[in-house]
Amino acid sequence: MIAQDIFLPRDRALWEEAKPYLNVRNNDEHTIIAYALAQVLLREIPEADPDVVLPAILLHDVGWSRVPKDLLLLAVGRRPTRLDLVRDHELYGVDIARENLERHRLEGVDIDAVCQIIDGHDTVKEDKNINDAVVKDADKGWRSTPHGMRTIAGWYDVPVTEVLLMLEERSNPVMLTAPGRAQA
């Protein structure tokens, strides 16, 4: 499975431009899997708009590229100490995503709606609308995949059982949609 097999043809140009920004913390692989999870959620939640959800999930983590690498792990995990960096990555992400989206001007894509989702996708726990809920669930749903659990375990050099505790405590309780909760 490669990215080109996952992304809709319309979104491939966004992906190509986003890749250099996603070469941080396995965000390239995370994005591919989260995009696929979003596609599954969209089939279960027909009122959500794929023209907003899919570009948003594809671009949601590009802002991590502007956070110093030596600080990244302080922003995530069971006991993060630098939540300000989570907010920073969202704000950086909005800027990068807007530039990418404006350059490509994809038909049917509401740039403002996509950027509104990226702004707050991690720091705002409530959903702003159904599109935001689908993006949040696809993003956090990655953590429950075998790839997500192995990646997180590697970041912290902990066993997968420790990751399962983190999921149980921090991720699964904040899933927003019934299909998202079922995936987790």
pLDDT 10s digits, 17-76: 999 999 998 899 999 999 999 999 999 999 999 999 999 999 999 999 999 999 988 888
Domains of the chain: 3-183 (1.10.3210.10)
78/166 Cα distance (integer angstroms):
6
Give the C-alpha distances (Å, rounded to integers) separating 164 from 58, 109, 155, 160, 181.
25, 36, 14, 6, 15
Residue 73 is predicted with a pLDDT of 83
Model pTM score? 0.94
33/35 Cα distance (integer angstroms):
5
Whether the pLDDT of residue 78 is over 90: the answer is: no
pLDDT tens-digit series, residues 85-131: 999 999 999 999 999 999 999 999 999 999 999 999 999 999 999 99
The alpha helices in 1-124, defined as continuous H runs, are 3-6, 12-18, 27-44, 50-59, 83-104, 111-118
